[in-house]
Amino acid sequence: MSPPVPVPRFGHGSRVPGWDEAVDLTKPPATIPDPATTPVPQELRDVIEAAMAKYPDRRSAAIPALHAAQEVHGWCSPEAIDQVATVMQVTPAYLTSVATFYDMLETRPRPKHHDVYVCTNISCSLRGADHFFDAMVGAAAEHPDVHVSSFECLGACDIAPMASVDGEYVGPLTTDDAARIVDDLRAGRPVLEHKQLRYRRCADPGVAEGAEEFAPPEPDVPRADTAGLGPGGDTLDRPGPTAPIEIPVDEAGAGNQAGAGNETHEDDE
Amino acid sequence: MKLLFDGIDEPGLNTLPVYERRGGYQALRKALTMTPDEVLSNITESSLRGRGGAGFRMGQKASFLPHGDMEKYLVCNADESEPGTFKDRELMQKSPHMLIEGIAIASYAAEINRAFIYIRGEYSHQADILEAAIAEAEQAGYLGQRILGSAHDLNLVLHRGAGAYICGEETGLLDSLEGKRGNPRLKPPFPAIEGLYHGPTLINNVETLATVPTIIRLGGAEYAKIGTETSTGTKVVSVSGDVQRPGNYEIELGIPSRVLIYDLAGGPPEGREVKFWFPGGSSAPVLTKDDLDLPYDFDSMAKAGSMLGSGAIIVVDDSHTVLEVALKLAKFYAHESCGKCVPCREGTNWTVKMLRRIQSGEATPMDLDLMASVQTQIIGNCLCVLGDAMAMPIGSMIEKFRDELEAEIEAARERAATGELEDVIALGVADEHAGPLPVH
């Protein structure tokens, strides 16, 4: 047997770096912060109180509340957690336990920036997600405001390899798309519009055949995306993997309705 | 036959006017003219099996809920995180009202007045669509107080998660919905007796609930004629991986798997062939190309030693190694293990380390036995099945592809001896993308 290799150790003999970073072991545990000394932005307070009102138990609002605080502060900072704790009347420790559990709640400082989550799970990696991830990291290397991370299955294996760019699903991606994503983000444009999932048709060929209302082919008829929530100004349909399903003349109304839904949604925002 | 996907690509189907024009909410009207028990017996007669993974009969589950006046809850599990599964995403995005109608009918059948949809945080687009649809349905009187003039009330709330695979497990989901870390609970008591806020809770998958309006429309007995005797109805199957046309396909249960993989999804790219496939998401034991002619239904998959699971087929062709897929899989489960039960927390992490050892040429064929024994020690020894979900496919890979893995071990040892694998060895057990394995 070869001699044992020395194992790097951190404070208190732990092999895990940073295990005691979050706490000061000499301090007494924090209690619910005093509302008088913890100012909370009114908007944040309103969001949290509205969330709490939806549930029989106010603690159910922990995730929505932390999400809202993260929007304001950029991450779940101690200050953000104190503010949520004040409004929800729970201890900061309780909220910290929640914030550290979930992947979408950030517990480390970071500036406000664009998030690119690249799925590197099985279905995507079978189709080259790891190459795309490397290309994406390379493309974003000089742009500190574009934050690239690999993510577990995002539930869009039909457009593998794919990524979620600020919540917008795009795919299938090639390594050339990496630079495009960075360009689009920096220009403030919708990202890779022609590859967005929201415009994609159902792959099942039976959907086109079975729906008698989608009858005679009528090219050049503009249609909204099936969700009716497309980015402003864009009403063109992007065909999915099946033969395009065309909209009959008397169905044009439906397309308009979807367009109308689009506008309403934007008004809501 | 298209039941869930009937006209799903129609523009604006996510809005109420289009959905109503296509006959939407007629099933709810019909259900409200029946007694709750009649609705429930229709669901029971249909033999609808849960579409989330376990395949438990929905009618039976709903009948476990105690009767009487008390706080009962319905939770729709829309935390679709099983790798390879994306059926619920398409249903919620394109036809959210079908889900809402299903929830309204199911809550009436089980006499429930409060319902939640727990949607994974990454599905923000789908959550926006659902939120808009819920508001529309409330406006039109399909939700809220005294639905359509009946005595039934239903308050439906959409709850967004924040990214954790374990919250797809029903008791982990309940903890997360209560605002805690998503740790699974000890069962029994099952959620039907003591679930959300300690009240009796009915938990069903999106697709299961979205099927309910169809059952009421056709009648339970009529619905049971579709599919096979023990796997009734249609199922939306997500096919992904090495196929030419990945996507969601709605099929009648019991069709040959080959039809699904080759005729519908186009099979692997030219010149390659299927090496193995996961019939029910990444948690299902793998099947090989010899199993392609099996009928795709719950019982045939179980008989072949695997499971239908969430109905997600991942195809792997012969251009990929078993080791590469096994490592991806193990890393995923190691990352997502909540850390509550030791066999899962340690087993998943050690499996990753052992697979890495194969890659870096430090393993011997004995390691395969060790790894297989770790898998058997995980199965059945934890509160939830997350550990099992890794142990089952990894165990089946070792069993079915032992020769290939042994050859891989040998080849890596030879390369390591020439100093070729310094980089791989230096990586150790670290994840090349995400830094060291997270310690929760």
ipTM of the complex: 0.90
Q: What is the mean pLDDT of residues B20-36?
A: 95
In chain A, residues with a C-beta closer than 8 Å to the C-beta of B5 are 202, 204, 206-207, 210
Which sign, positive or negative, has the C-alpha torsion B323, B325, B331, B336? Answer: negative
Claim to verify: residue B354 and residue B409 sit in the same structural domain = yes
CA distance B279 to B315: 9
Q: What string of DSSP letters covers B120-132?
A: -TT-HHHHHHHHH
- Cβ <8 Å between B84 and A153: yes
The mean pLDDT value of chain A amounts to 77
Claim to verify: residue B159 and residue B39 sit in the same structural domain = yes
Claim to verify: residue B218 and residue B83 sit in the same structural domain = yes
Alpha-carbon distances of A126 from A170, B8, B10, rounded to whole Å:
17, 28, 32
Count of structural domains within chain B: 3
- Cβ <8 Å between B179 and A62: yes
CA distance B191 to B170: 8
Among A126, A166, A262, which would you mutate to test the B interface (most chain B Cβ atoms within 10 Å of its Cβ)? A126
Candidates B160, B179, B240; nearest CB to A59: B179
Predicted local distance difference test score (pLDDT) of residue A22: 62
Burial label for B392, CB within 10 Å (0-12, 13-18, 19+), is buried
pLDDT digits (tens, 9 = 90+) for A227-249: 443 333 334 444 333 333 333 44
- Confidence band, pLDDT 50/70/90 cuts, at residue A259: very low
Predicted local distance difference test score (pLDDT) of residue B369: 96
In chain B, residues with a C-beta closer than 8 Å to the C-beta of A228 are 11-12, 14-15
pLDDT at A9 over 80: no
- Nearest residue of chain A to residue B313 (CA atoms): A123
CATH architecture designation of domain A114-197: 3-Layer(aba) Sandwich (3.40)
CA distance A226 to B91: 12
CA distance B61 to B246: 33
pLDDT digits (tens, 9 = 90+) for B423-436: 777 665 444 444 43
* Strands across the sheet containing B114-119: B155-160, B114-119, B73-78, B201-205
Candidates B80, B84, B163; nearest CB to A123: B84
Exposure class string for B199-234: b at 16+ Cβ within 10 A, else e:
bbbbbbbbbbbbbbbbbbebebeebbebbbebbbbb
- Choosing from B175, B197, B223, the residue where a domain stops is B223
Predicted local distance difference test score (pLDDT) of residue A88: 96
Position of tokens 């980015």?
A: A231
Residues 222-251 of A with CB under 8 A from B: 223-229, 237, 240-241, 245, 247
Claim to verify: residue B288 and residue B329 sit in the same structural domain = no
Identify the helix (H) or strand (E) that includes residue B151. none
Looking at CA atoms only, how far is residue A21 from chain B in angstroms? Answer: 13
Predicted local distance difference test score (pLDDT) of residue B24: 93
pLDDT digits (tens, 9 = 90+) for B63-104: 999 998 899 999 999 999 999 999 999 999 999 999 999 999
CATH of the domain at B341: 1.20.1440.230
pLDDT at B438 over 50: no
- Cβ <8 Å between B325 and A257: no
Claim to verify: residue B251 and residue B346 sit in the same structural domain = no
Better pLDDT: A204 or B214: B214
Residue B351 lies in a domain: yes
CA distance B103 to B98: 9
The mean pLDDT value of chain B amounts to 92
- Nearest residue of chain B to residue A244 (CA atoms): B9
In chain A, residues with a C-beta closer than 8 Å to the C-beta of B322 are none
Judging by DSSP bridges, how do beta strands B312-317 and B287-288 pair with one another? unpaired
Residue B5 lies in a domain: no
Alpha helices in A54-188 (DSSP H): 62-73, 78-88, 92-99, 122-126, 129-140, 177-187
Residue type at B89 in one-letter notation: R
CATH of the domain at B255: 3.10.20.600
Is some CB atom of chain B closer than 8 A to the CB atom of A139?
Answer: no
Three-class DSSP category at A189: coil
- Cβ <8 Å between A157 and B86: yes
pLDDT digits (tens, 9 = 90+) for B287-302: 999 999 999 999 999 9
pLDDT at A211 over 50: no
Residue B439 lies in a domain: no
Predicted local distance difference test score (pLDDT) of residue B427: 62
pLDDT digits (tens, 9 = 90+) for B395-420: 999 999 999 999 999 999 999 888 87
- Nearest residue of chain B to residue A262 (CA atoms): B12
Claim to verify: residue B362 and residue B388 sit in the same structural domain = yes
Predicted local distance difference test score (pLDDT) of residue B354: 94
Around A228, how many Cα atoms within 13 Å sit in the side-chain half-sphere?
29
- Choosing from B317, B340, B360, the residue where a domain stops is B317
pLDDT at B184 over 90: yes
Is some CB atom of chain A closer than 8 A to the CB atom of B194?
Answer: no
Predicted local distance difference test score (pLDDT) of residue A206: 81
CA distance A115 to A149: 8
- Nearest residue of chain B to residue A224 (CA atoms): B11
Gyration radius of chain A's alpha carbons: 24
Expressed in percent and rounded to 5, the helix, strand and coil fractions of chain A are 40, 5, 50
pTM greater than 0.90: no
Structural contact between residues B73 and B274, judged by C-beta atoms closer than 8 angstroms: no
Domain ranges of chain A: 25-99, 114-197, 205-268
Asked which of A106-120, B134-148, B246-260 is least confident by mean pLDDT, the reply is A106-120
- Cβ <8 Å between A202 and B8: yes
CA distance B106 to B211: 10
Better pLDDT: B353 or A262: B353
Predicted local distance difference test score (pLDDT) of residue A20: 64
Judging by DSSP bridges, how do beta strands A163-165 and A114-119 pair with one another? antiparallel
Claim to verify: residue B26 and residue B131 sit in the same structural domain = yes
Residue B280 lies in a domain: yes
The proportion of chain A whose per-residue pLDDT surpasses 70, expressed as a percent, equals 67
Predicted local distance difference test score (pLDDT) of residue B206: 97
Identify the helix (H) or strand (E) that includes residue A55. none
Claim to verify: residue B146 and residue B269 sit in the same structural domain = no
Claim to verify: residue B287 and residue B332 sit in the same structural domain = no
In chain B, residues with a C-beta closer than 8 Å to the C-beta of A225 are 11
Predicted local distance difference test score (pLDDT) of residue A87: 96
What token pair was written down for B242? 């090495």
DSSP 8-state class, residue B287: E
Predicted local distance difference test score (pLDDT) of residue A127: 94
CATH of the domain at B169: 3.40.50.11540
CA distance A48 to A42: 10
Which sign, positive or negative, has the C-alpha torsion B312, B315, B321, B322? Answer: positive
Claim to verify: residue B381 and residue B272 sit in the same structural domain = no
Claim to verify: residue B335 and residue B313 sit in the same structural domain = no
| Structural domain that includes position B108 | 16-223
Is some CB atom of chain B closer than 8 A to the CB atom of A133?
Answer: yes
Residue B135 lies in a domain: yes
Which residues sit opposite A146 in a β-bridge?
Answer: A114
Q: Please state whether the peptide bond connecting residue A231 to the residue before it is cis, i.e. omega within 30 degrees of 0.
A: no
Beta-carbon count within 10 A of A26 CB = 5
CA distance B396 to B306: 9
Is some CB atom of chain A closer than 8 A to the CB atom of B334?
Answer: no
Is some CB atom of chain A closer than 8 A to the CB atom of B249?
Answer: yes
Asked which of A12-21, A163-172, A242-251, B39-48 is least confident by mean pLDDT, the reply is A242-251
Claim to verify: residue B167 and residue B63 sit in the same structural domain = yes
Predicted local distance difference test score (pLDDT) of residue A7: 67
Three-class DSSP category at A240: coil
In chain B, residues with a C-beta closer than 8 Å to the C-beta of A17 are 436
